[in-house]
Chains A and B, each alone.
Chain A
Amino acid sequence: MDTHITSSFDVTRIRADFPILSTTVRGKPLVFLDSGASAQKPRAVMDAMTQAMETAYANVHRGAYHLSEVATEAHEAARGAVQRFLNAAEPEEIIFTPNATGAFNLVAHSFGRGMLKPGQCVLVSEMEHHANLVPWQMLRDAGLGIGLRFVRVTDRGELDLEDLAAKLADGKVGLVSLTHMSNVLGTVTPAARIARMAHEAGARVLFDGSQAAVHRAVDVQALDADFYIFTGHKLYGPTGIGVLYGKRALLDAMPPFFGGGDMIETVTLEHSTFAASPARFEAGTPAIIEAVGLHAAIDYVNAIGMSAIEAHERALVDHAMGALTQVEGLSLLGGAQDRGGVFAFSLAGVHPHDLSTYLDRSGICVRAGRHCAEPLHNRFGLEGGSTRASFGLYTTREEIDFLATKLIDARRFFA
């Protein structure tokens, strides 16, 4: 593990850890402002994955030989790193999934179909990523009598807590599934308070931490979350691995989703009995190399310190608020009090897709479209989508200023 990084946040040194950040696009320095979609990777992650393949690779949980034991140990060490990262009580509460979407679908099947009762419903908000919406629509439409409700989002882009209370009032909500930080508005939701409200109404609560876990320290026990989901590739780790945290008692009561090898106790031709969590929910050969990469990514952010990362990003958010609101014709989506480094906006007279192409010529990578949150864009009357700049721990004030300058140029170009 890298120990040269101290708590004094040195963005120049951090950027040197990410090989891609010193590359150029058409001779222009790369200005990567799309970390909310997927973050870049530090050398430490690449090295750990390469080293695992070069020296410690075999299938896990299977072979009674040294190499498989070493690989299994590394796999379970990664689980332990995730457990500590989320402050989960036990490593058995950490389930590896292919990505965040895989984790949502696992909960929708194992908990949704397995434990929700007819007449109960799932409660999501208007600002969810499609990954935290479509699986619940599919569950609602499966003919099991399970409903789906929506919490409103205020004009400021915050969760309407009065509406949340109202939607919980009849005690029919079995699961509240909400984002911990919006991938469009940047809004950070009051998760501990939401969890209290959900539990008082007899509901379980799931948080989508795909964005939040990258920007803030997460303590699932302090939040009293029943489920918590995040994904490796947004946390500077590899693609192909996500995480579902679930309280042990819940996981023990949930039926499996995928069936196959590694998730069973005994198998006859007619029947099988299932292993305990996490194996029960991890059928088949897992993402072995990716788990090593995720472990390295967690070590990397821990070495910098989540509180230092959070402080850096708070400063970036303040800076961006100043820089972006000076751009004539720019309207930010949402204006939440508590927000992270995600800024979606529209620019008068310039379509997001045209803007993205324009900025790309200057080396700036932003996302254009609806960012997998179509209902939210409709809610704000932006059926045609928005442009989004999202920050990582390597983002600098200079990059934000450069974006602001190029936005002004773009308005002139498309005038």
Chain B
Amino acid sequence: MNAPAGFDELQDLYSKVLRDLARNPAHRGRLENATATARGDNPMCGDRVEVFLNLDGGHISEAMFTGRGCEISQASAALLTELVRGKSPGEARALGQAVARMARNGERDETTEELCRLSVFSIVQRFPSRVKCATLAWHALDAALAGVKETSSE
């Protein structure tokens, strides 16, 4: 068990990269006529992310999100909508699994550009109560790809 996170780690958690993602997401908004959507809720804190996808020829051609919540949940949703474009459902799910491993275990993986960018969430491992914030959007993605309309962080 690691020692609890200290004050400097606040700077690491709320990095410029994460805060830019949260505050200036490239793909915030509803995607009209989305072929797959799902909403993820964290019933404990009220965070909510709705993911909209267009699936075209076995690939995600478009991805948008709406929602409300803390900077971590919103940054994660913002990055999701950037990274899953052009991916197959399987590839997109694998990115979500990578986020979960990073947030839970502090794993870093810089073998691809996508994983490198997602590694911004590895610091979340030092803040155990925030893991669900990082993974909420990816739960919604899984649900959308599975044809389920609503999911929960729990």
Q: Which residues of A contact B68 (CB under 8 A)?
A: 383-384
Q: Judging by beta carbons under 8 Å apart, are A357 and B45 in contact?
A: no
For B41-85 the 0/1 string (1 means CB < 8 A from A) is 000111110000000000000000000111110000000000000
Q: Judging by beta carbons under 8 Å apart, are B10 and A353 in contact?
A: no
Interface residues of B: mostly helix, strand, loop or mixed?
loop
* B148 close to chain A: CB less than 8 A: no
* B5 close to chain A: CB less than 8 A: yes
Q: Which residues of A contact B13 (CB under 8 A)?
A: 357
B7 to chain A, nearest CB (A): 5
Q: Judging by beta carbons under 8 Å apart, are B45 and A361 in contact?
A: no
Q: Judging by beta carbons under 8 Å apart, are B45 and A369 in contact?
A: yes
Q: Judging by beta carbons under 8 Å apart, are A384 and B69 in contact?
A: yes
Q: Judging by beta carbons under 8 Å apart, are B6 and A353 in contact?
A: no
Q: Judging by beta carbons under 8 Å apart, are A353 and B45 in contact?
A: yes
Closest to A354 in B: B70
Q: How far is the CA of A384 from the CA of B129 in the complex (A)?
A: 17
Known A-B contacts: A352-B70, A383-B48. Give 17 more (CB < 8 A): A26-B6, A351-B70, A352-B45, A353-B45, A353-B47, A353-B130, A353-B133, A354-B70, A354-B71, A357-B10, A357-B129, A362-B7, A368-B45, A369-B44, A383-B68, A384-B47, A413-B10
B61 to chain A, nearest CB (A): 31
Q: How far is the CA of A304 from the CA of B52 in the complex (A)?
A: 58
Q: Judging by beta carbons under 8 Å apart, are A361 and B14 in contact?
A: no
Interface residues of A in 45-95 (CB under 8 A from B): none
Closest to A28 in B: B7
Q: How far is the CA of A322 from the CA of B104 in the complex (A)?
A: 41
Q: Which residues of A contact B14 (CB under 8 A)?
A: 354, 413-414
Which of B13, B44, B70 has the most A CB atoms < 10 Å from its CB? B70
Q: Judging by beta carbons under 8 Å apart, are B4 and A383 in contact?
A: no
Q: List 19 A-B contacts (CB under 8 A).
A: A26-B5, A26-B7, A353-B72, A353-B130, A354-B70, A354-B71, A357-B129, A357-B130, A358-B10, A361-B10, A362-B7, A369-B46, A383-B46, A383-B48, A384-B45, A384-B47, A384-B69, A385-B45, A413-B14
B49 to chain A, nearest CB (A): 12
Interface residues of A in 363-381 (CB under 8 A from B): 368-370, 374, 377
Cβ-neighbour of A370 out of B45, B48, B133 (below 8 A):
B45
Q: Which residues of A contact B5 (CB under 8 A)?
A: 26, 361
Q: How far is the CA of A368 from the CA of B46 in the complex (A)?
A: 10
* A25 close to chain B: CB less than 8 A: yes
Which of A354, A361, A369 has the most B CB atoms < 10 Å from its CB? A354
For B1-17 the 0/1 string (1 means CB < 8 A from A) is 00111110110011000
B135 to chain A, nearest CB (A): 14
Q: How far is the CA of A370 from the CA of B68 in the complex (A)?
A: 14
